[in-house]
Amino acid sequence: MRIVFIGPPGAGKGTQAGRLIQLLEIPHLSTGDMLREAQQTQSEFGETAAEYMAAGKLVPDELILKIVHQRLSQNDCLQGCLFDGFPRTEPQAVALDAILAEQCSRLDHVLELRVEEDEILARLALRGRSDDQPDVIRKRLKSYLELTRPLVAYYERKNLLRPINGTGTTDEVFGRVRDAIGVTNDTSGDSAA
Ligand code: AP5
Ligand code: MG
Q: How far apart are CA 127 and CA 15, in angstroms?
A: 12
pLDDT band, very low/low/confident/very high, at 185 (cuts 50, 70, 90): low
Contacts of 112 (CB under 8 A, 6+ apart): 6, 7, 152, 155, 161, 162, 163, 164
**pLDDT score, position 193:** 39
User: From ligand 1's centre to the CA of 86, what distance in Å?
Assistant: 11
Tens digit of each residue's pLDDT (9 = 90 or more) over 80-117: 999 999 999 999 999 999 999 999 999 999 999 999 99
Mean pLDDT, range 162-184, rounded to an integer: 97
Nearest CA to ligand 1 atom 43: 127
Taking the CA atoms of residue 134, residue 161, residue 177 and residue 31 in that order, the dihedral angle to the nearest 10 degrees is -50
Q: What is the mean pLDDT of the chain?
A: 94
Q: How far apart are CA 14 and CA 84, in angstroms?
A: 7
Q: How far apart are CA 156 and CA 149, in angstroms?
A: 12
**pLDDT score, position 42:** 85
Tens digit of each residue's pLDDT (9 = 90 or more) over 9-19: 999 999 999 99
Q: Best substitution site from 123, 131, 146 to test ligand 1's pocket, by max atoms within 8 Å of Cβ?
A: 123
Q: How far apart are CA 1 and CA 81, in angstroms?
A: 7
Q: How far apart are CA 151 and CA 38, in angstroms?
A: 26
Using left for φ > 0, alpha for ψ between -120 and 50, and beta otherwise, residue 10 falls in left
Mean pLDDT, range 48-58, rounded to an integer: 97
Its pTM stands at 0.95
Tens digit of each residue's pLDDT (9 = 90 or more) over 109-144: 999 999 999 999 999 999 999 999 999 999 999 999
Helix, strand, or coil here: 129? Answer: coil
pLDDT band, very low/low/confident/very high, at 189 (cuts 50, 70, 90): very low
User: From ligand 1's centre to the CA of 153, what distance in Å?
Assistant: 21
Which residue did the predictor score with more confidence, 192 or 41?
Answer: 41
The pLDDT of residue 147 is above 70? yes
